[in-house]
Structure 1
């Protein structure tokens, strides 16, 4: 079984614990529930299947039943707290608390660097700028950014990118990218941070409306669609995004850093209710 800090989903951790015990003994869900103080013999099974949720209050008892103590017990409770957090702000706070606990015990949390990377526009922008400004000082890089940023912030961002392994220095002391492109990946906390970056980039897109047409391209279409068509469009966008990344990655040179926002979002509520009402009216008129 993996170390607890390699988990982001408490349900998966409980399931893996159960499976490991089951392989080496006659351990049952009834035994597990009894040890954790639950009257229902299948409660924890339902938790793992997503049919029930483990409360923060009961998390400590389950941790004890799994033999967790000290740091690991607290970490498990924080995983449950994260799952119950409502809204991005609360989820960020819960995730950062988990990371702080792990850091205090000199343990790396899966997704920590990824989470921090997607929290701010400064990280992806400077990751693109720095390798193409060899020998430049932080103040020069700050002036190269469209958005306001200080030389100190540039230095801090570059330090983070180096520590996270997203930039490195060559033999001449110039920055180079360790990978050409970055994706969010499967870590559950990353989309929470990514939404914050998307908000920032969305605000920058509004400001970019004032740029000359020769420097920006913006268009949109409003359409009525079904859920099936929505899924088809999502797939087309994903394929298009991959092709764009491939095109950009094929050229090692950079003259300017651009952001491409792809946005598909609803402008109305679901219209099924309206159709149901019309159908009811038709049936009433027939009577």
Structure 2
């Protein structure tokens, strides 16, 4: 099975551990529970199936039952803490610490890339801007941005984008985009994207007054929907985004970076 620092979901790790032990011996859920100090022969199966939580007081015993010690036990505890965390801020802190440990022990979590790429507007904007400005230095790129960013940050972010494969360096200060998309676990990616949505919504609010009508376009509809219509509207919006993305992807001589937000959310409870 994979090394523990390749996981972000403790339930999947426990299930893979169980399957591996069962494959090579007469291991059972009863024995697994007994090793971890549980009287119920089925409790850990319920945990793996997502039907029960693993309490903080039992984490160490379960880790030891799987022969985890040192940083491996710490990493397992972090995975459980992430699952139990209620606040988005705390979930983010835990996943970043897991990513730090994974890199320290020669593994890489794509979740770390997702968090870094989506942590601020500079990352996706510079990914678009850098290929438009061949030969430009970081201070020139910083000056081209409508929001404040330092040349030092531009330089650091460009190095990240190249190292992680979001940009390709074609020579001195010349960049091209790769086709790479951000891939992460089902736990991490929504958390990372939510952070980006919140930030971009704030910039959209400022853009209403910051730019003249000829440079920005806002529209909105307030409508009644039901569950079926909601699904149809979402599908139409996603199709629209795909068409716009294809349109921009096949265009040349681009000279500016724009952000498009599409927001569709409830203003009332169901009646």
**Counterpart of 1:111 in 2: which secondary structure?**
helix
Structure 1 residues 119-148: Cα deviation after superposition (integer angstroms, max 9, x where no partner):
111000011111110111111111111111
Give the structure 2 partner of residue 33 of structure 1: 33
1:160-239 correspondence to structure 2 within 5 Å: 160-179=160-179, 182-183=181-182, 186-210=185-209, 211-239=211-239
Question: Alignment RMSD, CA only?
Answer: 1.8
Query: Structure 2, unaligned stretches of length 5 or more?
Result: none
Q: How many angstroms apart in 1 are the aligned matches of 2:214 and 2:236?
A: 26
Once residues 19 and 256 of structure 2 are traced to their aligned partners in structure 1, the CA distance between those partners, rounded to angstroms, is 52
Distance 2:184 2:105 in 1: 26
- SS in structure 1 opposite 2:148? coil
After the TM superposition, which residues 247-258 of structure 1 pair with which residues of structure 2 at under 5 Å, given as runs? 247-258=247-258
Of stretches 244-253 and 101-110 in structure 1, the one that deviates more from structure 2 is 101-110
Take 1:251 and 1:187, find their aligned partners in 2: how far apart are those partners? 32
The answer (yes or no) to whether the contact 1:111–1:187 under 8 Å persists in 2 is no
| Cα offset, 1:173, TM superposition | 4.3
CA-CA distance at 1:269 after TM superposition: 2.1
1:70 matched to 2:70: yes
Q: What is the TM-score with the length of structure 2 in the denominator? A: 0.93
More displaced stretch, 48-57 vs 183-192: 183-192
Answer with 1 or 2: which has the greater Rg.
1
Q: CA deviation at 1:188?
A: 2.1
CA-to-partner distance for each residue in 1:33-77, whole Å, 9 max, x for gaps?
111111111111111111101122212211111122222111111
Q: After superposition, give the CA deviation of every residue in 1:103-129 in whole Å (9 maximum; x if it has no partner).
A: 333332232112211111100001111
Q: Label 1:252 to 1:22 Cα distance change in 2 as closer, same or farther (>3 A).
A: farther
SS at match of 1:193: helix
